[in-house]
Amino acid sequence: MPIVELHVLEGYDSTEKRRLGEALTDAVRFVVPAAPDAITVMIHELPADQYFRGRSPRSPAPARPDPARFVRDYLAAMERRDLDAAKAMLGDDFTMQFPGAAPMTQLEELIAWSKPRYNFVTKTYDRFDAMQSDGAAALVYCFGTLSGEWLDGTPFSGIRFIDRFEIEGGKITRQDVWNDMAEVKANA
């Protein structure tokens, strides 16, 4: 039964501490074959005035936003075509890659690229997987199915997709998309 103890400065709210506990549980499970309820995580808070580094008291760093929630909010803005809200979530060096397309850096490019392919598309999500990369980026994968309408008005549904996002500095810097849309369309 693994036990993990974490010491943090006071200042993180209960949601942030819960995220820490879940992430530490998942990290242990990545290496140790233990069920989640067999792993104990204890978070100890230390008042900021009792912690010194280099003879100076320190404050806790602000928690990063939940990357899966951030991606979900971005995808919701895209689906409702709130491009201003979606653009505000993108980094200056944002790039996206869709099947059969050259890399794109602007949401307007995506809309122009998709216009001759379908009238609209919506996503149903099965799950979101979030993790930290070796570098600065948080990675989020979302899995699910696409539904929508082809250009001739025929509906489609159940098309598998996976999206992969990189988030750095609170902004999405990369999106890669894989789906079975071309295969389904070819066999329709």
171 shares a domain with 84: yes
Task: Give every CB contact of residue 100 below 8 A, 6+ residues apart in sequence.
Answer: 182
Q: Is the pLDDT of residue 188 over 80?
A: no
115 shares a domain with 37: no
Tell which of 57, 75, 99 closes a domain: 57
> DSSP string covering the chain, please?
--EEEEEEES---HHHHHHHHHHHHHHHHHHS---GGG-EEEEEEE-GGG-EETTEE--PPPPPPPHHHHHHHHHHHHHTT-HHHHHTTEEEEEEEE-TTS--B-SHHHHHHHHTTTEEEEEEEEEEEEEEE-SSS-EEEEEEEEEEEEETTS-EEEEEEEEEEEEEETTEEEEEEEEESHHHHHHT-
146 shares a domain with 170: yes
The CATH number that applies at residue 7 is: 3.30.429.10
The CATH number that applies at residue 145 is: 3.10.450.50
Range of the domain at 49: 3-57
CA distance 67 to 62: 14
73 shares a domain with 53: no
Instruction: Supply the pLDDT for residue 146.
Output: 97
The model's pTM is: 0.87
What is the pLDDT of the chain when averaged over all its residues?
94
83 shares a domain with 27: no
85 shares a domain with 17: no
**Total tally of structural domains belonging to the chain:** 2
Residues in the chain: 188
11 shares a domain with 95: no
Tell which of 37, 57, 77 closes a domain: 57
Average pLDDT of the residues in 7-20: 93
40: in domain? yes
Q: What is the pLDDT of residues 55-87, one digit of tens each?
A: 888 888 889 989 999 999 999 999 999 999 999
Tell which of 57, 76, 94 closes a domain: 57
138: in domain? yes
Q: What is the pLDDT of residues 18-27, one digit of tens each?
A: 999 999 999 9
